[in-house]
Structure 1
């Protein structure tokens, strides 16, 4: 009896493995067909391919949800009904780096047109259905965000004694009677000085910069920030649709559903 049960268990395990392999090959074949399209280009972005497509590309190329624009020889990505200029696309780790078009490298007074933070990406607090994610994990692991925040504040008195607050000098004045500051990284409740208001929050993926210098902070903003399409990649490569990207192995780690928890890992190279 035990031998019979063991054999049935092995058969079920083998069937699951074969099913995973079959689904993976089906998705890989789909990707291959979409990759048959030659890359498109716009300006200095010359490697536009699946899942992206340019407006005007053949219908079978790329995913229409990830359609990019080309305006004045600049590649444009649309995020939250806002245009961002693409600086680079990395197909190895499924990220795209973008920058707010209002930011100018040599103009320290230039700022993003609107605030953008982790709260604008649903993967930081729930299962993501968005086209783009704030990191390469889908389980609200905030330590693995692909960018950090730059917080702009206006205070009604000087807070120079707080080392986290960097004066913007003549570059930025929110109020003629106020004091303008910027803080790199997350601003915790205990760090918010009395009499200070948050005016703008913006992301940057430039990690190594002098956080005590407004000029360096502004250059980091002008570098741009990365977002990922890890959710789509997981759907294409993982039968369970749940995974994260292992940057060391350069592959996906797919979660196998076991009861209410995600247990065991299945590795798929990409």
Structure 2
């Protein structure tokens, strides 16, 4: 038999078992690498309302697709004519065409969509959400003026028939924003509505056609081209409020990356000023989110490192990797002199916590004369006026504050750090402006990266577990440790090594590898799985040995 070339004859019976283990490992590895990430699967098929348009990022239809397949504020609906619509200024606008390549879409007011009428209906002003949409270039604002005194106008024949018999909407005057008659007309008319169009027509028929044709909007969501070119689908992480590229293995920051490229994609980063940025932090756009822990992404703004939460941006003044802390300053007031209106600071307390010198400044804005509180307070002069005053109070922890704030318009807690702690300190003996400018410190907990870095690796995060990226491959905590076969990557590498060694002409090489601790561990794992699942009752009874694993093989002496 061919196996006699590799092993003594008395070991031949174990070969069927070894082959079975090889098959099992192959199936496990293939299944692990072949099953796509659920986020990737959920967003891989474009949505549609039925009019032939594909709807994909940044747009999505709530109820049809998951919210993470789109971008906040880009929700679409389907009307009774199977057309996608978007809500602008509390008015349904028909989405006639989406141009994904240049990030524009053509929309038209649904009130103008009826081609059987020859009148101009009453509508609302278009107020675009500037954070999401802008008018595309070469669009014109058309003013529809209602309830006009025609005797004050030079050319009353320019009125067009409205769709309602009420006096104020019976006729409509339509003028473009550049028309010299607009100024006088606005004084002669009591109400006006702005309706964007692509160009301006000279007669009623053209104007009604322009209104039905609509106008172009340009959206501001993150471009999807880089992600799509890498084989991913674009999405959004509502927890961190950041763009995500949904890939077969898992979501990434900007694009899907080749297998085992963790070391190259995770160099230390920097925004230009401030501390060097490395694990557990990573810089958006320069590396991948596998270079740090979830929620530890850092943006760069004017060469400053920015830690962003759902309530605002904070400048990172320093990172102390030795004791796992970092100092933050409110980005809006880092260089300010009057703290007229702060906002609450929120963060994920499961991975971060304040240090023991933490305290809170409580700001009470625009309080009436009856405002009273059981703490010493100080007036915030720049946020007060003749009738309503604003105050600031120092407390140990806002979570322990339970007094009423109903006499004030707003209440905000801002974390600070006190040298020596909170004991015997009040708002009267501290400079709250200086405290706010100095910022506060947060402490993180979790994986210690020292062993990985000392071994020449770079720390990262893969599939819910901390890893060490090395030049050769991915390790668990250090580049010097033996591979862990419980990890799918270890199983896959083990199978690759087996294939390579089977092709060698030296029998002792394969024999030595087959009985190495790594191979024995792999087979033992396989054997335990076979016992737990069982092949037949007879086989389970045959291999039932008290106190030991009957398939554990000891390395023979040759």
TM-score, normalising length: structure 1: 0.56
C-alpha distance 213-34 of structure 1, shift in aligned 2 (>3 A) = farther
Specify whether residues 75 and 190 from structure 1 end up closer, same or farther in structure 2 by C-alpha distance, changes over 3 A only.
closer
RMSD: 4.0
CA–CA separation in structure 2 for the residues paired with 1:34 and 1:185: 47
CA distance in 2, matches of 1:86, 1:185: 24
Other-structure match for 2:141: 148
Q: Partner residue of 1:85?
A: 94
1:42 and 2:49 correspond = yes
Matches within 5 A, 1:38-117: 38-59=45-66, 60-72=68-80, 73-103=82-112, 104-116=114-126
Rate the CA distance shift 1:80–1:170 in 2: closer, same or farther, 3 A.
Answer: closer
Structure 1 residue 228 corresponds to structure 2 residue 218:
yes
Give the structure 1 partner of residue 173 of structure 2.
181
Report the 3-state secondary structure (helix = DSSP H, G, I; strand = E; otherwise coil) of the residue aligned with 2:150.
coil
- 8 Å CA contact 2:76, 2:84 repeated in 1: yes
- Matching residue of 1:191: 183
* Residues 112, 202 of structure 1: 8 Å contact kept: no
Query: 1:92 & 1:177 partners in 2: Cα distance?
Result: 41
Deviations 1:119-170 (A, max 9, x none): x2364xxxxxx322234xxxxxxxx46442233244323466459x822157
Flag the 1:160–1:87 CA change in 2: closer, same or farther, 3 A.
same
- Partners of 2:103 and 2:79 lie apart in 1 by 24
Identify if the C-alpha distance between structure 1 residues 100 and 180 changes in structure 2 by more than 3 Å, giving closer, same or farther.
Answer: closer
Does structure 1 residue 166 correspond to structure 2 residue 158?
Answer: yes
Residues 81 and 34 of structure 1: CA distance in aligned 2, closer, same or farther (over 3 Å) = farther
Choose between structure 1 and 2: higher strand proportion.
1
Bigger radius of gyration: 2
Per chain length, whose mean CA-contact separation is higher, i.e. which structure has more relative contact order (CA < 8 Å, sep 6+)? 1
The answer to whether the 8 Å contact 1:34/1:50 transfers is no
Aligned to 1:249: none
User: In the aligned structure 1, how far is the partner of 2:99 from the partner of 2:179?
Assistant: 30
The answer (yes or no) to whether the contact 2:107–2:214 under 8 Å persists in 1 is: yes
8 Å CA contact 1:100, 1:112 repeated in 2: no
Question: Is contact 2:145–2:174 with CA below 8 Å preserved after alignment?
Answer: yes
User: 1:7 maps to what in 2?
Assistant: none
Gaps of 5+ in 1: 1-32, 124-129, 136-143, 241-255, 259-270
User: TM-score, normalized by length of structure 2?
Assistant: 0.29
> Contact between 1:99 and 1:222, CA under 8 Å: does it hold in 2?
yes
Separation in 2, partners of 1:87, 1:149 = 20
| 1:201 has 2:193 as partner | yes
CA distance in 1, matches of 2:124, 2:103: 25
**Alpha-carbon offset, residue 50 of structure 1:** 0.7
Distance across 2 between alignment mates of 1:170 and 1:36: 45
Deviation at 1:49, TM superposition (A): 0.7
**CA separation in 2, counterparts of 1:190 and 1:177?**
18
Going from structure 1 to structure 2, the CA distance change for 1:198 and 1:105 (only over 3 Å counts) comes to: farther
Aligned positions of 1:244-255 closer than 5 A = none
String of CA shifts for 1:225-244, please: whole Å, max 9, x gaps.
2222125449968x89xxxx
1:218 aligns with 2:225: no
Residues 174, 182 of structure 1: alpha-carbon distance in 2 compared, 3 angstrom cutoff: farther
